[in-house]
């Protein structure tokens, strides 16, 4: 979802979403992910200036999951799995989200700026931002029409 209502999101719903992220599997059960929750409008606007896309300043809440790279060899995988869990939990609560990536060509520079802005210690990796809000429109779910059976290879390619 990329358009959100102004309606406030309950702190307990944010906690449930983070719980789903924290309970996600991590390599060797490193549990090295921490979460920054941003509600402050000025901070959201500063994040928007770094990463772009209007919904970053419009969503009521931004969650930034970060992984301690001194504790895991798989920070990207750990963060991705946790993020997907968070998307599913948010959807189950009637909330909308989307994966907001750091721009591939400037990812390191953007990551540094986000770390500085949010005072995240240097060893934590940031790969994405998760906006959370009540969606303006009901998402259209995928159907069997979108399913590409051709992409399945049985036994061999
Ligand atoms: C690794 C990754 C990066 C993405 N980055 C962005 C992004 O920066 N901005 C955005 O609006 N959507 C982003 N998306 C969302 C995809 O564009 C979206 O999943 C795709 O368009 C399919 O839509 P659906 O998820 O509704 O099926 C990203 C998704 C993934 C998995």
What digits encode the pLDDT tens for the residues 64-77?
A: 999 999 999 999 99
Residue 104 reports pLDDT greater than 90: no
Residue 51 — very low, low, confident or very high, per pLDDT cuts 50/70/90? very high
Given this model, what pLDDT does residue 103 score?
78
Q: Which residue has its alpha carbon closest to ligand 1 atom 16?
A: 99
Q: Which atom of ligand 1 is nearest to the CA of 2?
A: 11
Among the listed residues 45, 44, 50, the one whose alpha carbon sits nearest the alpha carbon of residue 62: 44
Q: With pLDDT > 70 as the criterion, what percentage of the chain qualifies?
A: 100
Read off the pTM: 0.96
Residue from 52, 97, 101, 128 to probe ligand 1 pocket by mutation (most atoms less than 8 Å from CB)? 101
DSSP state at residue 70: T
Strand partners, 63: 37, 130
Phi first, then psi, for residue 96 (nearest 5°) are: -115, 155
**Tens digit of each residue's pLDDT (9 = 90 or more) over 38-48:** 999 999 999 99
Given this model, what pLDDT does residue 139 score?
82
């Amino acid at each position: 979802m990329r358009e959100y209502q102004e309606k406030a999101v309950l702190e307990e719903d944010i906690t449930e979403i983070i719980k789903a992220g924290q309970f996600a599997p991590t390599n060797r059960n490193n549990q090295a992910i921490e979460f920054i929750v941003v509600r402050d409008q000025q901070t959201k606007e500063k994040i928007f200036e770094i990463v772009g896309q209007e919904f970053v300043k419009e969503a009521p809440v931004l969650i930034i999951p970060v992984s301690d790279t001194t504790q895991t060899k798989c920070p990207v995988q750990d963060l991705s799995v946790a993020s997907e869990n968070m998307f599913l939990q948010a959807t189950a609560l009637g909330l909308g989200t989307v994966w907001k990536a750091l721009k591939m060509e400037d990812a390191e520079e953007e990551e540094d700026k986000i770390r500085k802005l949010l005072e995240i210690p240097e060893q934590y990796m940031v790969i994405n931002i998760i906006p959370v809000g009540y969606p303006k429109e009901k998402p259209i779910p995928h159907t069997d029409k979108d399913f590409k059976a051709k992409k399945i290879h049985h036994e061999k390619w």
